Structure 1
Amino acid sequence: MTSLTTHVKRFVGPIIANRWTGIIAARVLGNRIPHRGLTIDTSSPVVDAETKAALLVNGYESAEYRFVQRYLPTDCDVLELGGSLGVISCTIRRRIAADRRQFVVEADPRLAEVLRRNLALNDCARGVEIVEAAISYGAGGTVRFALGERSDSGRIAADADGLPTIEVPAVTLGQLIERHGLTDFALVCDIEGVEWRIVEHDLDALAKARVVVMETHGTPDHGSHDDLIAAILATGRFALLDQYGPVVVLEPKRPA
């Protein structure tokens, strides 16, 4: 019965997770959407109606949620790249031990505000440090960041396409690991294509994680998400533990 229910939800969810569902839910619920035991504040203009609907029917980042619950260790620190609304951040905080540290990187200041609000709303702020910066491997300590209209459309300004841009601090994965003294940690990553640059420029840092939960994305300059997964596995440094569409769970291979 549980399996049947799951299949029904996966079929019906995308049908009802539409703009009008989100608009009605936000109005009825006062922009406080219940989601997998959390309450998510969606009052920011950057949260569109489709996202609100996806939250309502538990379709929001569902593969990431399942993999975090299944594979994320409870006894290590966590570095999350791309905090967005804070849904996965709260899920992580509730899963890991109270004495473990959690660092959440978010480049968009509007989303950082939403992230803080939802961590506090769900009593998940303790032990969490928000790093307002963009993952970048260019020269200099800052980078231009394009502010998207939706929570998932912000990006490095080289791909701005006429969107408004701001200057934000730039940081690499390796720098984050060093600055925060991360020696035993898991990595959760959803940064809209910038993961390609980590693989190109910072593979050693990526391989330091105990486990990696990553949503992969295609880019015009690099290829599809399948190309990225193939490129990661071709390095011979990671084992693929699980995959659902573009979301993968990777385990770095340790020297024998």
Structure 2
Amino acid sequence: MNKSFLKIKDKIRSVVPYPVKSIILKSFCNDVVGSFLGRIYSESIPHRGARIFVGSSCFKDSNKAMLWFGWYERSEIDQTIAYLDQGYDVIELGSSIGVNTTQILKHIGDERRLMAVEANPDLIPLLKENIKNNNPRNIEVTVVDAAVDYSNDDSIGFLITDSTLSGKVSRDVGPENCKIVKTIKLSDLSNQLTTARFILVADIEGAEVGMIINEMEFLKKRCFRIIIEIDGAYFGGKYYSIEDVKCLLEQYGFELQHRHANRMVFENA
């Protein structure tokens, strides 16, 4: 998918009213349809030339249907395919079960390296399985089981939700669905890269705010392109909106290349 085709898809999507989209999703992407698809495909759902193993209670039946119809994280995946450059290593933050990771593996350069970072320990087995099953070129992949965090603590609570898309760092470690995970900083990963500059793909449910604020000099020096979902979040006692984070990146010379809602692509000018 090239960048021009991505813009055409955006225009087509904008024409369809949200209520219509909602009706379509509820009609086709529900638990009944997803459970049926899971059974007929033995929990290994075809998706954009890959096979995504979803055989775990971590992955909801409705998401199986979303995956089969190509609507699961569609905008993020479209941006990744259109803006990935084969000349760079890739760091992916928030790899989940590896749906977008498999697309990175299809489009990354032969000699390049991928680092896939996921904080939810329950998803790591699925992520590793999907990388193993969708890596015919044997791209070098390192899976990092950690949460991106800048509290200077070695570990932190991670809130496990009923969706593979919405787990996030939590300061409240009391709930039963909150697990203690180790922390990592983006710059900690740089010594494992083979290229001087890299492409960052990130979907970490608000944790990107602290990362951008703390790693801006590192990003400016080492990051060629950022493909990111931005969520409003508090950091250091201050709330940063989606537009605030966008402006921060632009102030440091990252130029907006593409935007679909809160999913954006920036290039280091």
Normalised by the size of structure 2, how large is the TM-score?
0.83
How many angstroms apart in 2 are the aligned matches of 1:216 and 1:67?
14
SS at 1:24 equivalent = helix
TM superposition shift of 1:232: 2.7
Give the CA RMSD over aligned residues: 2.5
Amino acid at match of 2:260: Y
| Large movers: runs of 4+ above 6 Å | none
Q: Do the aligned residues in 2 keep the contact of 1:108 with 1:132 (CA within 8 Å)?
A: yes
- Specify the alignment match of 1:214 in structure 2: 228
Q: Give the direction of change, closer, same or farther, for the CA distance of 1:160–1:14 in structure 2 (3 Å limit).
A: farther
- Specify the alignment match of 1:131 in structure 2: 144
How many angstroms apart in 1 are the aligned matches of 2:36 and 2:183?
39
Q: Do the aligned residues in 2 keep the contact of 1:40 with 1:87 (CA within 8 Å)?
A: yes
For residues 1-256 of structure 1, the aligned pairs below 5 Å read: 7=12, 11=21, 14-15=25-26, 16-123=28-135, 126-158=139-171, 162-178=175-191, 180=193, 183-207=196-220, 208-219=222-233, 222-233=239-250, 235-253=251-269
Q: Do the aligned residues in 1 keep the contact of 2:119 with 2:145 (CA within 8 Å)?
A: yes
Q: Give the direction of change, closer, same or farther, for the CA distance of 1:57–1:159 in structure 2 (3 Å limit).
A: farther
TM superposition shift of 1:30: 2.0
SS at 1:183 equivalent = coil
Q: Give the direction of change, closer, same or farther, for the CA distance of 1:237–1:7 in structure 2 (3 Å limit).
A: closer
Normalised by the size of structure 1, how large is the TM-score?
0.87
TM superposition shift of 1:37: 0.9
Structure 1 or 2: more strand by fraction:
2
SS at 2:224 equivalent = coil
Q: Give the direction of change, closer, same or farther, for the CA distance of 1:76–1:153 in structure 2 (3 Å limit).
A: same
Q: Give the direction of change, closer, same or farther, for the CA distance of 1:13–1:56 in structure 2 (3 Å limit).
A: farther
How many angstroms apart in 2 are the aligned matches of 1:36 and 1:136?
32
Q: Do the aligned residues in 1 keep the contact of 2:87 with 2:112 (CA within 8 Å)?
A: yes
Q: Give the direction of change, closer, same or farther, for the CA distance of 1:68–1:181 in structure 2 (3 Å limit).
A: same
TM superposition shift of 1:226: 3.6
Q: Count matched residues.
A: 249
